């Protein structure tokens, strides 16, 4: 959560900061602010989206500054609680992402010392704490202050009359952008792509000193760190809308490329063992949050079917509270950003229990990549919309490949079966393109949902978690209450809520659950529920029991989660669009959940 940008160089900092900050608005949009260093620190901030703040922004001058867009955690959204914060003397200004756990204790101390507070945030504690130690050297004051802090942070500090920027990280992302005669720092690389593709990722416990001509990184012991920069292959255009009305729609239409790129980078490893070379384990646990947890649930079905191993899928936020089992499974951790706080905590707990760990993530250099034994990179490219779309599909592809790898390595799949499945996987981009070609039919089907107060999503077997994800997408961006259920559970309570005002979205594929799903739909119809069914092309029988049918290309049932998930993403998108909702920036949500 929250977006941070810092700049030092020869340009007008306010122009760079505003341009870069807008690229990070998906990380938070409750309030925003900038601080520009000249002979004094010029501060401006406001409640709401960045445009609110920008519309009243004075013409600040200066080549050094920081900016922030906020997703509220401590303190309600307001102008007073917006970042940056400035100290009592006016020498220092700071922005922060994270949680300061002992802020109340520190605040009491600082108030007793005469410090005056203007907000309800934990962040303001930091700038006053640094001021307590400040005698003219901001870097030394920062180091001393951090010794008193408990919690997590990515923070950036500027000092009156200086062209240096100071930053520090603990469990929240920061990335340095390298320029010529200028340098940048941000919480996400997407903020920097218009200016540089050369970056250095800041690691946990490190402190950074940036000037226009130099970058110095110090480890937790104060020693200088020499780290080679990485070149980002994403272009600035990859992080733009490219003619689409919303990022979410653009990213849904990028699913075929996300599938292709994830397969291209990893498919050979299924057979030659370039990932999961050591398969000396007898069970698997997949741990994740939110959308990634739904991918984990699909992964459970895939690995159990292809590798014949027992698999469980668990919420990362609950994993740390369990007890260590007698046998330690392979723990697969899924996080799109690589920075999800609960998933990082789960990774550390898995290591503490002595388990081997494998992360699935979309972001090279993210925190999770340094916490685990092995990393499987999806290659979906930048995703700006808060609701995960192409990254979810890329996670599914990763799990197919991991299941295939385990099945082949554990000898539950023959070489011929593996080759057949490889060929089938290569066809999935084209399968999804056919779904996208019929997006107008999906848009028309929203007539059944747009006025609803409640919607149920029903599926069985491997498509049960797909329907959980479909319900999540609808509630995230359209604000319609939606619940996903295993269809067999409807008669165990939820059927009491079905009537003519409650639409049902049901997935029916030709597998061992087909007849049972038809029966479940009939039960709904008997209670006057309206059924929007999703089935394979040519399924005339389904048209006899549903009010409307949307078709996906006929694929083996094992692959059906891919086209069905894309169709459900379109369904949520077009429903939200018709309702006039804020699709890319839904209320109360942010893209990367870096606090727990």
Q: What single string gives the DSSP state of each residue in 201-253? A: EPPTT-EEEE-SS-EEEE-TTSPEE----EE----GGGGS-TT-SSHHHHHHH
Contacts of residue 435, Cβ cutoff 8 Å, sequence gap at least 6: 552, 553, 563, 566, 567, 570
pTM for this one?
0.74
Give the per-residue pLDDT at 37. 94
- Residues forming a β-bridge with 548: 532
Lowest-confidence segment of 169-183, 279-293, 458-472 by average pLDDT: 169-183
Asked whether 336 and 388 are in contact (CB, 8 A), the reply is yes
Asked whether 475 and 482 are in contact (CB, 8 A), the reply is yes
Per-residue pLDDT band for 401 (boundaries 50, 70, 90) equals very high
Phi, psi of 427 (to 5 degrees): -85, -10
**How crowded is the C-beta side of 333, counted as CA atoms within 13 Å?**
34
- CA dist., res. 187 & res. 27, Å (int): 9
Report, in this order, helix, strand and coil percent for the chain, each rounded to 5: 40, 20, 40
Asked whether 240 and 22 are in contact (CB, 8 A), the reply is no
Domains located in the chain, CATH noted: 3-237 (3.60.20.10), 241-426 (3.40.50.10490), 434-580 (3.40.50.10490)
- Residues forming a β-bridge with 508: 535
Lowest-confidence segment of 211-220, 521-530, 576-585 by average pLDDT: 521-530
Judged against a pLDDT cut of 60, whether residue 292 lies above it is answered with yes
Give the per-residue pLDDT at 490. 73
Judged against a pLDDT cut of 90, whether residue 527 lies above it is answered with no
3-state secondary structure of 534: strand
Question: ∠ at Cα 467 (465, 469), nearest 5°?
Answer: 75
Give the per-residue pLDDT at 188. 83
Helix 390-409 × helix 290-307 angle, to 10°: 20
Give the per-residue pLDDT at 238. 63
- Give per-residue pLDDT as tens, 301-353: 999 999 999 999 999 999 988 777 777 899 999 999 898 889 999 999 999 99
Per-residue pLDDT band for 414 (boundaries 50, 70, 90) equals very high
Give the per-residue pLDDT at 22. 85
- Residues forming a β-bridge with 45: 33
Judged against a pLDDT cut of 90, whether residue 570 lies above it is answered with yes
Determine the average pLDDT of the residues in 61-88.
83
Comparing 275 with 152, the larger pLDDT belongs to 275
Per-residue pLDDT band for 386 (boundaries 50, 70, 90) equals confident
Judged against a pLDDT cut of 90, whether residue 404 lies above it is answered with yes
Judged against a pLDDT cut of 70, whether residue 590 lies above it is answered with no
Give the per-residue pLDDT at 519. 84
* Active-site residue set: 2, 591
Give the per-residue pLDDT at 591. 52
Judged against a pLDDT cut of 60, whether residue 594 lies above it is answered with no
Determine the average pLDDT of the residues in 189-202.
89
Strand order in the sheet with 548-552: 481-486, 454-459, 503-508, 530-536, 548-552
**Dihedral angle sign, alpha carbons of residues 321, 327, 328, 330:** negative
Give the per-residue pLDDT at 357. 97
Question: ∠ at Cα 541 (539, 544), nearest 5°?
Answer: 125
Comparing 188 with 437, the larger pLDDT belongs to 437
73 CA to centre of own chain: 17
Per-residue pLDDT band for 1 (boundaries 50, 70, 90) equals low
DSSP tally for the chain: helices H, then strands E:
19, 25
Per-residue pLDDT band for 234 (boundaries 50, 70, 90) equals low
Going by their DSSP bridges, the two strands 230-231 and 198-201 should be labelled as antiparallel
- CA dist., res. 293 & res. 152, Å (int): 24
Determine the average pLDDT of the residues in 397-425.
95
Judged against a pLDDT cut of 60, whether residue 592 lies above it is answered with no
Per-residue pLDDT band for 557 (boundaries 50, 70, 90) equals very high
Would you list the DSSP string of 28-91? --SEEEEEEESSSEEEEEEESSHHHHHHT------SEEEEEEE--SSS-SSTTTPSPEE-TTSS
3-state secondary structure of 420: helix
3-state secondary structure of 155: strand
Comparing 240 with 106, the larger pLDDT belongs to 106
Comparing 2 with 128, the larger pLDDT belongs to 128
Determine the average pLDDT of the residues in 573-590.
85
Peptide bond into 84 cis (omega under 30): yes
Comparing 119 with 401, the larger pLDDT belongs to 401
Judged against a pLDDT cut of 80, whether residue 235 lies above it is answered with no
Give the per-residue pLDDT at 488. 80
- Give per-residue pLDDT as tens, 75-123: 677 888 888 989 888 899 999 888 888 888 888 888 998 888 888 788 8
Residue found by looking up tokens 């007890």 in the block = 323
Q: Which uninterrupted H or E stretch holds 505? A: strand 503-508
3-state secondary structure of 449: coil
């Amino acid at each position: 959560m929250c977006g941070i940008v810092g700049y030092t160089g020869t340009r007008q900092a306010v122009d760079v900061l505003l341009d870069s900050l807008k690229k990070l608005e998906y990380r938070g949009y409750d309030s925003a602010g900038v601080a520009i260093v000249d002979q004094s620190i010029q501060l401006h901030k406001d409640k709401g989206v960045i445009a609110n703040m920008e519309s009243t922004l004075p013409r600040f001058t200066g080549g050094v500054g920081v900016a922030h867009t906020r997703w509220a955690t401590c303190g309600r959204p307001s102008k007073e609680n917006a970042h940056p914060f400035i100290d009592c003397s006016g020498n220092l200004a700071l922005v922060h992402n994270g949680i300061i756990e002992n802020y109340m204790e520190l605040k009491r101390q600082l108030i007793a010392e005469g410090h005056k507070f203007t907000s309800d945030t934990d962040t303001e504690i930091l700038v006053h704490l640094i001021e307590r130690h400040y005698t003219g050297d901001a870097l030394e004051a920062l180091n001393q202050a951090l010794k008193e802090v408990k919690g997590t942070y990515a923070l950036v500090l500027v000092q009156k009359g200086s062209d240096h920027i100071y930053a520090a990280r603990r469990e929240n992302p920061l990335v340095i952008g390298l320029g010529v005669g200028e340098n940048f720092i941000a919480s996400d690389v997407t903020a920097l792509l218009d200016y540089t593709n050369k970056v250095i990722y800041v690691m946990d416990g490190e402190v950074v000193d940036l000037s226009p001509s130099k970058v110095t990184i110090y480890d937790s012991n104060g020693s200088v760190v020499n780290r080679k920069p990485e070149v980002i292959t994403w272009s600035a255009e990859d992080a733009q809308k490219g003619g689409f009305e919303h990022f979410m729609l653009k990213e849904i239409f990028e699913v075929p490329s996300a599938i292709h790129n994830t397969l291209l980078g990893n498919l050979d490893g299924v057979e030659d063992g370039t990932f999961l070379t050591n398969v000396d384990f007898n069970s698997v646990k997949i741990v994740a949050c939110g959308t990634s947890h739904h991918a984990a649930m699909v992964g459970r079905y895939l690995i159990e079917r292809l590798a014949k191993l027992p698999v469980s899928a668990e919420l990362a936020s609950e994993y740390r509270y369990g007890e260590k089992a007698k046998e330690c499974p392979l723990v697969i951790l899924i996080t799109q950003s690589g920075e999800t706080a609960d998933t990082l905590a789960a990774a550390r707990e898995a290591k503490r229990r002595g388990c081997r760990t494998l992360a699935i993530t979309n972001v090279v250099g993210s925190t999770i990549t340094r916490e685990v034994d092995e990393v499987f990179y999806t290659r979906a490219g930048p995703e700006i919309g808060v609701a995960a779309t192409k990254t979810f599909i890329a996670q599914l592809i990763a799990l197919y490949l991991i299941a295939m790898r385990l099945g082949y390595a554990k000898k539950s799949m023959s070489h011929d079966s593996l080759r057949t499945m490889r060929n089938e996987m290569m066809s999935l981009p084209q399968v999804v393109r056919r779904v996208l070609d019929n997006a107008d039919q999906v848009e028309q089907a929203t007539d059944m949902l747009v006025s609803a107060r409640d919607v149920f999503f029903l599926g069985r077997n491997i498509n049960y978690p797909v329907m959980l994800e479909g319900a999540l997408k609808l509630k995230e961006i359209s604000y319609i209450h939606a619940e996903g259920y295993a269809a067999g559970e409807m008669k165990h309570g939820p059927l009491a809520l079905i009537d003519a005002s409650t639409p049902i979205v049901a997935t029916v594929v030709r597998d061992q659950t087909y007849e049972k799903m038809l029966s479940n739909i009939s039960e709904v119809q008997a209670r006057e529920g309206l059924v929007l069914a999703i089935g394979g092309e040519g399924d005339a029988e389904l048209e006899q029991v549903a009010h409307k049918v949307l078709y996906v290309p006929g694929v083996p049932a094992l692959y059906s989660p891919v086209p069905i998930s894309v169709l459900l993403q379109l369904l949520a998108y077009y429903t939200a669009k018709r309702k006039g909702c804020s699709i890319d920036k839904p209320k109360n949500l942010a893209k990367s959940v870096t606090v727990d």
